[in-house]
Amino acid sequence: MKQQGVPDLTTSHPGIDILEPGCRVSPTCTVRRPGDTADAALIRLGRDCTLLDNVRLVVADPRESPASGLTLGDRVIVNVGCYLSGEGGLVIEDEVLLGPHVQILSAGQGLEPAQAGAAPNPSAPAPVAIERGAWIGAGAIILPGCRVGAGAVVGAGSVVASDVPPLAVVAGNPARVMRRRLDTAAGPEGPEAPGLPAGPDPAEEHGVLRLLYDDLKSAHAALRRERDLLQNNYLVLEKGYLDLKDENENLGHRCRDLREEGSQHDARCAAVLEESEALRKHYVRLEEGYKNLLRQYEAVRLAQAGMVQILQSRRHLTRYYLQKMLFGIDAVQASQLRSFAWLLRHRLRPRTRWNTLRDRYRQFGWPGVARLFYEFALRQWKGDQGAAGEAADPAVSLETAKARLREQAEAGFRDFLASDETIRFAPGDRPWLSIVLVLWGQAELTLACLRALAGEAGEGVEIVIVDNASPDATPSLLDRVHGATILRNQDNVGFLLAANQGAMAAAAPLVLFLNNDAVPRPGSLGQARALLAADAGIGAVGGRILLPDGRLQEAGCVVWSDGSCAGYLRGEAAEAPEALFRRDVDFCSGVFLMTRTGLFKELGGFDEAFAPAYYEEVDYCMRLWEHGARVVYDPWIVVDHYEYGSAGSSEAAAKRMATNQKRFQAKHARALADQESAALAGAMLRARMRGTGAARVLYVDDRVPRPDLGGGFPRAQALLAALGEHGLFATVVSLAEPMTTPARRPDDGLPPGFEVMPGLTPDKLVELLEARQGYYDLFFVSRPSNMERLAFLFTEQAGLLGDMAVLYDAEAVWAFRDIHRAAVFGHPMPERQIAQALRQELDLARPAACVLAVSETEREVFRQGGYGDVRVLSHAVAACPTRTPFAERADILFVGALFTPGSPNVDSMVWFVEKVMPLLRRANLGARLIVAGRNDALPRSFAARPDVVLLGRVDDLSAWYGKCRIFVAPTRFSAGIPLKIVEAAGYGLPVVATSLLARQLGWNDGVELLVGDDPETFARQCLRLYREPDLWATVQAGALARIDREYSRDCFHDAVAALLADYPAGRRRPEGA
């Protein structure tokens, strides 16, 4: 009968890696292990083991303690309250009984003083073994390094500090031998341990003695085996010693070479010392005040590629000028920055400060040092803003930000008038862009705009300024502007007429209408130009408009059915995921609107019916759509905007908008009938994109796909690219994104028109589906882990999916990876466990209408599991072999992500370096191993090896594919298709791989690649491929032919097209839906 309040024992536990059949574990049992060791099998329980209440199991990180692990044999009973430490390695053999509150410790604190620079009280692990049939009494403590012999008994409360002989009965603190289990009496110290008995006659001895004899005989055999093992270990150590001796001699030769080389650099070192001394003197001046640096080293500007250049001598160059005009930091940010001297003193350690300044000075000179100060200051401001956070009132914050910006702008304008500074432009003979600025007052904001354009525009940009008889100091400002076309009106004709006037004077093929209270951030002009040049169907482009408080004013704009307008995402964070994708929109604000000059003139410019201002750009964009030209929002065009800085007051602007809305509604009544109504639910979501009703896809993966992540993510990125090429729109959601993931970049490899939402939780995904119910047509889920995370969605909240078709991209059958891993490490899974693991993974795909497998082998696994529609979607790789001949190549290449401990890539590299490379050295190969990929999880000793080169992440590997002679893929456990082999072979680099990878690919040894599994065979195949040109050419040709047949981009796109044809969109929407 179960005791009330006591939980039942269970047959599983989340912290225990392997539980053999018959195990029972109390739910109150706890496990402490490092969080990033989920893939390592550190804790294993044999058959019929029992762990009662409040047992605690502890293991350490295997990278810090290689022996860490905890193994229990069959039929082991661990009583309540026991503490088992596997930090130094703990093995408990069959049929051992542990009494209540037993403590077994395999790691303690070292007694020797810590070395300099090491952590205090370093851990001292030592393995503990409890042999078969031993009994440990209640409250006993087993100290690190002890072995309790077979059949031994440890008395209650004893402290075992040394080995316990087999069949001994020990007790006390420290534990002493009281007697042996064969003795009928014992003294204080117990009898001497007898030798191995000479086998009794079974016919005359009692059954118990016979059993004891068998145990002793087994122990004797085990000792003999241990002796043989020690002899073998000695031979291995002797062999390793000889290898180390040879390596030491090689290092000695290398050291002599380095000393000779070092003697040749004495003169250069002296020059570096002189340069460092000069830099130190300049550093002292920097500490005295940042304005001294500005006066001494003149003005700098930030070029489009981010380089800082010296412009000209200025006597009064303010801190605000550097921050706002050159680096794009707005007034609120500038006002909250502490002094640069304070940042330099308090935010950098002295050595870091000195080294950083020295390196930046050597690379970029003093402008680079100034840029470094700006980066530190901006980082400090962002940290302060994150702490201030969400408690601020957005309305108050915006007004405060505007007031501060104007205050600083006015101060900067006063300094400008008091100086002899001028602003110069260089449009050249054939400018590519004309920027039209319409002015009426606000000279301080105009100065900020002109300074920013002077630093960003460069040669080929024409500035056309139309001044509407400004009543302030604007004429004085314009007198100091050189290289611009300046039109001075006698009266204020309003923005619209002045903008048309400036456009008629434009000489460039592109014209940008820019408010004088707006500042484009670096790169924005080039981004807009590239977009218009890439697509002749685009009539106008705009971008993200940011308010002075750093939040969005708009990310594209919407026209409602009543003629009113709205900026998408107003008041949201500047980096909101919904704002960071390119799309067609109803219109882009006239704050920043770039269009084609000829098209603007062809359509008659801005309609003068909307004079003096407002709705002119809305009307123009609507006419562009009617003309067949698109209006595109691009998030990587970023503009800081004061808002209403050129209108006089917000109230006046609002009145003008209301008047012109009525005119606009009457003019475009027919087109407005097809627009969304702002009063309908979900109207903004539907109206944010102006499109053709293409199918919408919700795509879920662990991470936002990038090629450098490996692990199937390059294939996922290719799938998303194919969806984009077929005209679909996708929202890409990641459920396991690191917290440090930066905002989306324009070069992330995904279609720029796809929405990316990184780092959502399953609950947040449910909220997204609730907010966008009925919005998506297809639901792609990638990887088994995500199907498991979302299992509740398919059962408990299936109504949120509506009529979406669920497509499951299996990426790989992960159970195969675990099966191979267990076999490699000497713990092969039983057939029943293999079948259970496969069944559990296959069952995850039940909600899917279609399953995408990466190979024919895995498709057959799903088909045998009862799935009907299973398709193969392999990788898309273009065969583009490099032309470098065999004789001009050298070294061995490996490519892969190496940042996860215990991963297949890390295991393969450690195995290759430690097992195969010594054999290659003995064969005098003389080749280095080139490792490309993030390598955080590799042993630190690899970086010190002369024959191993760690490149880290490499964005473009084509040069290395052309330099190296062979590629190695020594993977010992994995699943799916090894993309690294396909990519290397596509570049014409022959491969040596394991038979596991060859089977996954279906490639043949000696035809498309060479195969080796043990170190000797793998090394022999490397030597053959490295030294035999004919074999090298044969394998190269065979692999290229296979890639053309099975992995071409055409095959990949045809498979995606067939999938979309069979699972079309559930709803086709009219334009604008």
SS (H, E, C) 1021-1064: HHHHHHHCHHHHHHHHHHHHHHHHHHCCHHHHHHHHHHHHHHCC
Residue 1058 confidence (pLDDT) above 50? yes
Helix (H/G/I), strand (E/B), else coil: 107: strand
Q: What is the pLDDT of residue 12?
A: 80
Q: What is the pLDDT of residue 320?
A: 39
Q: What is the pLDDT of residue 268?
A: 67
Helix (H/G/I), strand (E/B), else coil: 868: coil
Q: Which tokens belong to 202?
A: 């079974």
- 100/382: higher pLDDT: 100
**Topology annotation, domain 886-1047:** Rossmann fold (3.40.50)
Helix (H/G/I), strand (E/B), else coil: 275: helix
| Mean pLDDT computed over every residue of the chain | 82
Tell me the mean pLDDT in the region 557-583: 94
Helix (H/G/I), strand (E/B), else coil: 1011: strand
Checking DSSP bridges between strand 103-104 and strand 83-85, what pairing results, if any?
parallel
Q: Quick one: which of 414, 428, 684 has its CA closest to 558?
A: 684
Question: Facing residues of 850 across strands?
Answer: 807
Placement of tokens 């862009």 in the chain: 433
Interacting residues of 146 by C-beta distance below 8 A, sequence separation 6+: 128, 160, 161, 162, 163, 164
Distance in angstroms (rounded) separating the CA atoms of residues 541 and 637: 9
Amino acid at 621: C
Q: What is the pLDDT of residue 1060?
A: 92
Q: Which of 3.40.50.720, 3.90.550.10, 3.20.20.70, 3.40.50.300 would CATH assign to domain 423-687?
A: 3.90.550.10
Interacting residues of 517 by C-beta distance below 8 A, sequence separation 6+: 442, 445, 446, 449, 641, 642, 643, 645, 646
- Quick check: 87 and 124 in contact, CB under 8 A? no
Distance in angstroms (rounded) separating the CA atoms of residues 645 and 540: 24
Q: What is the pLDDT of residue 200?
A: 42
Tell me the mean pLDDT in the region 716-741: 87
Tell me the mean pLDDT in the region 307-313: 34
Tell me the mean pLDDT in the region 837-858: 90
- Quick check: 176 and 187 in contact, CB under 8 A? no
Query: Which long-range contacts does 956-961 make (Cβ < 8 Å, 24+ apart)?
Result: 957/895, 957/932, 957/987, 958/882, 958/987, 960/893, 960/930, 960/932, 961/882, 961/893, 961/987, 961/988, 961/989
Q: What is the pLDDT of residue 432?
A: 95
Q: What is the pLDDT of residue 309?
A: 35
Distance in angstroms (rounded) separating the CA atoms of residues 149 and 269: 64
Domain residue ranges in the chain: 1-109+123-183, 277-385+408-418, 423-687, 696-872, 886-1047
For the stretch 182-201, what's the b/e string if a residue is b when 16 or more beta carbons lie within 10 angstroms of its beta carbon? Answer: eeeeeeeebeeeeeeeeeee
Q: What is the pLDDT of residue 14?
A: 83
Residues found in the chain: 1073
Report which DSSP code applies to 573: B
Residue 497 binned pLDDT confidence (cut-offs 50, 70, 90) = very high
Distance in angstroms (rounded) separating the CA atoms of residues 548 and 335: 12
Distance in angstroms (rounded) separating the CA atoms of residues 541 and 496: 19
Distance in angstroms (rounded) separating the CA atoms of residues 496 and 607: 8
> What are the two backbone dihedrals, phi and then psi, of residue 276, each rounded to the nearest 5 degrees?
-65, -40
Distance in angstroms (rounded) separating the CA atoms of residues 630 and 884: 46
Residue 184 confidence (pLDDT) above 80? no
Checking DSSP bridges between strand 128-130 and strand 147-148, what pairing results, if any?
parallel
Q: What is the pLDDT of residue 1066?
A: 44
Residue 834 confidence (pLDDT) above 50? yes
Question: Facing residues of 538 across strands?
Answer: 630
Whether the bond into 1064 is cis, omega within 30 of 0: no
Checking DSSP bridges between strand 630-641 and strand 518-520, what pairing results, if any?
antiparallel
Residue 332 confidence (pLDDT) above 90? no
Q: What is the pLDDT of residue 551?
A: 93
For 896-908, write each residue's pLDDT tens digit.
888 788 888 999 9
Tell me the mean pLDDT in the region 303-323: 35
Tell me the mean pLDDT in the region 993-1001: 91
- Count Cα atoms within 13 angstroms, Cβ side, for 1034: 13
Helix (H/G/I), strand (E/B), else coil: 91: strand
Cα torsion for 764, 767, 772, 777, to the nearest 10°? 60
Would the CATH topology of 696-872 be identical to that of 886-1047? Answer: yes
For 269-279, write each residue's pLDDT tens digit.
666 676 667 66
Placement of tokens 């084609």 in the chain: 596
Checking DSSP bridges between strand 147-148 and strand 850-853, what pairing results, if any?
unpaired
- Quick check: 518 and 592 in contact, CB under 8 A? yes
Q: Which of 333-342, 458-467, 645-654 has the lowest mean pLDDT?
A: 333-342
Q: What is the pLDDT of residue 115?
A: 54
Q: What is the pLDDT of residue 1005?
A: 95
One DSSP character per residue, 411-426 reads HHHHHHHHS---EE--
Residue 281 confidence (pLDDT) above 70? no
1-109+123-183: CATH homologous superfamily?
Hexapeptide repeat proteins (2.160.10.10)
Question: How many helices (H) and strands (E) would you count in the chain?
Answer: 33, 51
- 297/926: higher pLDDT: 926
Residue 322 confidence (pLDDT) above 60? no
For 765-807, write each residue's pLDDT tens digit.
999 999 999 999 999 999 998 999 999 999 988 889 988 999 9
Tell me the mean pLDDT in the region 1015-1044: 95
With a pLDDT cut of 70, the percent of the chain lying above it is 80
Q: Quick one: which of 514, 503, 500, 506 has its CA closest to 592?
A: 514
Q: Quick one: which of 3, 152, 148 has its CA closest to 80?
A: 3
Whether the bond into 174 is cis, omega within 30 of 0: yes
Residue 120 confidence (pLDDT) above 80? no
Interacting residues of 619 by C-beta distance below 8 A, sequence separation 6+: 606, 607, 610, 664, 667, 668
Distance in angstroms (rounded) separating the CA atoms of residues 866 and 77: 41
Q: Quick one: which of 147, 115, 118 has its CA closest to 134?
A: 147
Which run of H or of E encompasses 407?
Answer: helix 394-418
Residue 289 confidence (pLDDT) above 80? no
> What are the two backbone dihedrals, phi and then psi, of residue 871, each rounded to the nearest 5 degrees?
-125, 150
Residue 580 binned pLDDT confidence (cut-offs 50, 70, 90) = very high
Q: Quick one: which of 386, 288, 1057 has its CA closest to 728?
A: 1057
Checking DSSP bridges between strand 538-546 and strand 630-641, what pairing results, if any?
parallel
Q: Which of 246-260, 478-492, 692-706, 1035-1049 has the lowest mean pLDDT?
A: 246-260
Residue 1069 confidence (pLDDT) above 50? no
Tell me the mean pLDDT in the region 287-308: 42
Q: What is the pLDDT of residue 474?
A: 93
Q: Cα 534 vs. chain centroid, distance in angstroms? A: 30
696-872: CATH homologous superfamily?
Glycogen Phosphorylase B; (3.40.50.2000)
